[in-house]
């Protein structure tokens, strides 16, 4: 997605060889107009998959996921990282290790929101090691739902996430694919989806 | 907001005298179309306040906040509950106690995103004891920013949050105000904003 690639070039900050910071428009401060176009792009790409639910994980995935869900005219569900007192019923759960936060989280979705009839589009802001997406895929599998696609805003293609998910037979579309963050420079892999 | 009140009557679940569950359309599974109308309603109500930023806290506030920000044509910022490795710069921080989760969280916003020039609209899904909103107000005060309004989707008017915020001189608009959850019934205070 050309606009996204240009915005990363302009406003992304390379913190180290592994870390790209996009906190001025995606992960902390959010550019709603750009995120709506990102969500619509995901909806276009997966338009013929019969998607019934968009699933993401709190917190940075929520905005692109809700715009994708709106464009696809289906509900969005965000997996929770901590169990709340108001989530009393049965849960689908799995564990996700975050390399940036260095913690393992339990993630969960209420069973009543995903069934064997669902065709799910998983959305997230970043694909790095693939742990978050894998956790979401596991929640869908527990429900018997089909994962019909994974939409990622920024893929760090020099990390192992895509390979991990492709080995699971999943179809991944990333709107910006980063080949390298070396020498304080963002090198893109190709002009994307 | 009549549509919201009707939806709460239809799909809200009273778990106890203090807890209303709206996880099928706001806090876990999200109805994007309804949330867009909620966001637009906030934007209308605060249209003449010169808002420059919409601020919320992860995770359930993010969706109404981003739609309000989009309608107001300003950025949305969501305060984070846990410090991430990619948030290395100086932070505005405060503490928030959650009665539903029974934990105290540190919440933070990067200093660079809020300044003394900003006029902030704070958005959240629920107002109960007012702790989350108070924490967000404190972050704005640390930045020298003005809090120009607080927009709440569902106010539990039988709890102390509104009084706490009004004592701080703040202008609160809630789209649904709940007088009581006793006897498994949702009693509304009035037909709202």
Summarize pLDDT for A31-43 with one digit per residue, the tens.
Answer: 999 999 999 999 9
Distance CA B19, CA A85 (A): 9
Report the gap between the CA of A191 and the closest CA in chain B (Å). 26
Which pLDDT score is estimated for B87? 53
Q: Kindly indicate the confidence band of residue B103, based on its pLDDT and cuts at 50, 70 and 90.
A: confident
Q: What is the pTM of this model?
A: 0.95
- Beta-carbon-side half-sphere exposure of residue B19 (alpha carbons within 13 Å): 13
Contact between chains at B63 and A62 (C-beta distance less than 8 A): yes
Give yes or no for a contact between B86 and A15, defined as CB atoms under 8 angstroms apart. yes
Mean pLDDT of A97-109: 85
A87 pLDDT more than 60? no
A28 pLDDT more than 80? yes
Among A46, A181, A49, which Cα is nearest to A123's?
A46
B3-20 pLDDT, tens digit per residue, is 999 999 999 999 999 999
With a CB cutoff of 8 Å and minimum separation 6, the contacts of B160 are: B129, B130
Q: Which carries the bigger pLDDT value, residue B86 or residue B29?
A: B29
Instruction: Give the nearest chain A residue to B29 (CA atoms).
Output: A77
Report the gap between the CA of B191 and the closest CA in chain A (Å). 26
Share of chain B above pLDDT 70, in %: 94
Report the gap between the CA of B112 and the closest CA in chain A (Å). 9
Q: Which carries the bigger pLDDT value, residue B105 or residue A108?
A: A108
Q: Which of A28, A58, A113 sits opposite B59 (nearest CB)?
A: A58
Could you give the 3-state DSSP secondary structure of residue B167?
helix
B156 pLDDT more than 80? yes
Instruction: Give the nearest chain B residue to A101 (CA atoms).
Output: B84
B45-89 pLDDT, tens digit per residue, is 999 999 999 999 999 999 999 999 999 999 999 999 865 545 556
- State the ipTM, two decimals: 0.95
Mean pLDDT of B131-138: 97
Size of interface A-B (CB pairs under 8 A): 111
User: What's B80's DSSP letter?
Assistant: B
Which pLDDT score is estimated for B89? 66
Give yes or no for a contact between B91 and B119, defined as CB atoms under 8 angstroms apart. no
A129 in contact with chain B, both atoms CB, cutoff 8 A? no
A37 in contact with chain B, both atoms CB, cutoff 8 A? no
Mean pLDDT of A95-108: 85
Mean pLDDT score across all residues of chain A: 94
Q: Which carries the bigger pLDDT value, residue B100 or residue B131?
A: B131
Paired tokens of B146? 């003005």
Q: List residues bridging with A104 in a β-sheet.
A: A97
Mean pLDDT of A120-143: 97
Distance CA B142, CA B79 (A): 14
Which pLDDT score is estimated for A178? 97
Domains, chain B, with CATH or none: 2-190 (3.40.50.2020)
Which pLDDT score is estimated for A88? 55
Q: Kindly indicate the confidence band of residue A86, based on its pLDDT and cuts at 50, 70 and 90.
A: low
């Amino acid at each position: 997605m050309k606009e996204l690639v240009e915005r990363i070039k302009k406003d992304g900050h390379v913190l180290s060889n592994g870390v790209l910071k996009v906190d001025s428009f995606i992960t902390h401060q959010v550019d709603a107009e750009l995120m709506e176009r990102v969500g619509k792009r995901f909806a276009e790409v997966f338009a013929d998959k019969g998607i019934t639910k968009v699933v993401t994980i709190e917190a940075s995935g929520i905005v692109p996921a809700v715009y994708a869900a709106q464009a696809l005219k289906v509900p969005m569900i965000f997996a929770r990282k901590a169990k709340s007192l108001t989530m009393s019923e049965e849960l689908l759960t799995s564990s996700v290790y975050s390399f940036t936060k260095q913690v393992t989280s339990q993630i969960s979705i209420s069973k009543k929101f995903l069934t064997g009839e669902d065709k799910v589009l998983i959305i997230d802001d970043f694909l790095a090691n693939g742990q978050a997406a894998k956790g979401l895929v596991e929640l869908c599998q527990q429900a018997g739902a089909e994962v019909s696609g994974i939409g990622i805003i920024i893929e760090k293609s020099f990390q192992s996430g895509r390979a991990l998910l492709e080995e699971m037979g999943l179809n991944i579309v990333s709107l910006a694919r980063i080949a390298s963050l070396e020498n304080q420079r963002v090198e893109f892999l190709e002009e994307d989806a």
